[in-house]
Amino acid sequence: MKASALTADEAVLRKGSDILVEALLREGVEIIFGYPGGASMEIHQSLTRVPQGRLRMILPRHEQGAVFAAEGYAKATGKVGVVLATSGPGATNLVTGIADAKMDSVPLVAITGQVHQSLIGKDAFQETDVVGITRPITKHNYLVQRVEDLAHTIKEAFYIASTGRPGPVLVDVPKNVQQAQMIPKWPHEIKMRSYKPPTHAGVRELEQIARAIRSSKKPVIYAGNGIICGNASRALQQFAEKTGIPVAMTVLGLGSFPANHPLCLDMLGMHGAVYANYAVSQADLLLAFGVRFDDRVTGKVEEFAKHGRIVHVDLDSSEINKIKTAEIPVTSDVGYVLKKLNEMDLGSNDYSAWVEELQSIKKAKPFRYQDDGDRIMPQYVIELLSEKTGGKAIVTTGVGQHQMWTAQYFKFVYPRTLLTSAGLGAMGFGFPAALGAKLGRPDWQVIDIDGDGSFTMNIQELATAFVEDIPVKAIVLNNQHLGMVVQWEDRFYESNRAHTFIGDPRNPDAIYPDFVSIASGFGVPARRITKKSEVSDALDELLASEKPYVLDVVIPYTEHVLPMIPSGRTFDDTIY
């Protein structure tokens, strides 16, 4: 006899798996990305009993695709992404995505099936200690040992994942707990003595910041992912306009301040704009909002912003003074700080001469590339895509040169429109993340700008796009090489090629693999272009498609991402 649909309010015995699913529904979960197996079958069976329309289950073709899709959903919407996997290899296939979510502050709940409790620690079939494995890369994790704890654990997991600095939480559920029965009791609120995320700066700290601003002559805002996670983009723009202070952003901060704003300095750091890095090097006050002073931004730490006082505002107290000592350290929600500063007297300093100085640097040393006749320059493709969409698109990327070209040449106007693996730098992120983003924000055009190396790593998710009818687009900048590693080989290893050619060594002049044929085999329309004259029409075709679409763009492998500050060096060492 088929089990009846889940009902929320009946005081009846329920299996643990049914309680788990109902707990997810009570958290507002609309989409789960998951791949079934022996230790998670009970949960999947319970999912089939959810009334139609209440929840959508997406079956990816690999667990890594599932967790990246859940991240894409979370990054694009600000909601908690949910991923489900079985024990053993299913759980371990989530590890890269969980680590990525930890590094990039992504709210994520990963649920894994586990072997029967009586088998734990006995090397049972498909057993791994996923709680132990993920302890260093989660915000918190759980091994649920009693069915009575399930409802409360799920609610607690969502609370931890979404509050304070967002991050991943893993819940490991043994099969016997899934099968056990009880009459559930639903918790209404979560109180945790051991977890109280800080939220508000004090009056004294706010006044210290205000005094620093009033006494500065060359201030710069250094804005990061904390602005986006804290939904503080509007407050940041109000603050910049109120004070006249220019804004430079990290790669994860792009979109937090409009790229078309006259105070925007674009991205700073290793492959950032010369004018952004110049601004930081000359600033007498660095307002670091929602950042963690990553090495790709600072280069040689002791030389970074050495002429200026540093105000560091971040929700995570462990980031304060971890890399760079701040004269004014503030542990607080950055949105709250900006809101309060916008209400305060910040003086009437005129920074126009400072802004004009930076604009002159921007005019003299903009992002640039050389036209190469009818060969396709990757920067041109991204620049034209940005113009055609007007920034009204969510863009995902893999990791490598294409990621940095996207950050440089696509003008991000809105928050949550650049989704990329920044801290971990996980190749294969782009396409599955695009699937999650499109499901979360279906009214937006969602485009994965990828490299041939990154795209191939999760190419199987073309099947998910086709079967689930998710109309995401992929632009594959195809240079037959692991481009960023090749660039480092050229710059620092005398162009000695160490396993960075990913084409066919027996026929190096051929374009391999044939992405058009591969996409066609998955049922996805695709096109290859090799000439600059084809780019505009091909982009129009891609943007107009109402189905998943792959555009294979053949580019030269000799092109480098510039400017570049070599690792551990300073602004004075910029290669331009």
Active-site residue identified among 126, 282, 445, 460:
126
Burial class (CB in 10 A: 0-12, 13-18, 19+), 510: exposed
Is 487 annotated in the active site?
no
CA distance 359 to 300: 25
- How crowded is residue 431: how many other Cβ atoms within 10 Å of its Cβ? 32
Contact 73, 416 (CB under 8 A): no
The Cα-based distances of 389 to 198, 303, 379 in angstroms read: 39, 39, 16
Tell me if residue 172 falls in helix, strand or coil.
strand
36 HSE (CA, 13 A, CB side) = 12
Tokens of 238: 């109000």
Tokens of 92: 């371990």
Active-site residue identified among 125, 179, 192, 306:
125
User: What are the φ/ψ torsions at residue 439 (nearest 5 degrees)?
Assistant: -70, -35
490 HSE (CA, 13 A, CB side) = 13
Active-site residue identified among 249, 404, 427, 484:
484
Is 484 annotated in the active site?
yes
H or E stretch at 225: helix 225-229
Contact 43, 57 (CB under 8 A): no
Peptide bond into 219 cis (omega under 30): no
CA distance 551 to 476: 6
Closest among 569, 106, 576 to 295, alpha carbons compared: 569
CA distance 314 to 311: 10
Closest among 202, 120, 107, 116 to 158, alpha carbons compared: 107
The two beta strands, 108-114 and 140-143, are unpaired
Closest among 58, 148, 98, 92 to 439, alpha carbons compared: 58
Tokens of 543: 């943007």
Tokens of 470: 């998710």
Active-site residue identified among 79, 175, 218, 411:
175
Q: Measured in Å, how far apart are the chain's first and last C-alpha atoms?
A: 70
Peptide bond into 513 cis (omega under 30): yes
Active-site residue identified among 22, 27, 63, 205:
63
Q: In which residue are the tokens 């969980």 written?
A: 98
Tell me if residue 180 falls in helix, strand or coil.
coil
CA distance 474 to 546: 13
Contacts of residue 348, Cβ cutoff 8 Å, sequence gap at least 6? none
Contacts of residue 309, Cβ cutoff 8 Å, sequence gap at least 6? 212, 216, 284, 285, 286, 327, 328
Contact 269, 292 (CB under 8 A): no
Is 126 annotated in the active site?
yes
CA distance 157 to 155: 5
CA distance 511 to 5: 51
Is 257 annotated in the active site?
no
Is 125 annotated in the active site?
yes
CA distance 192 to 240: 37
Catalytic residue ranges: 63, 125-126, 175, 484
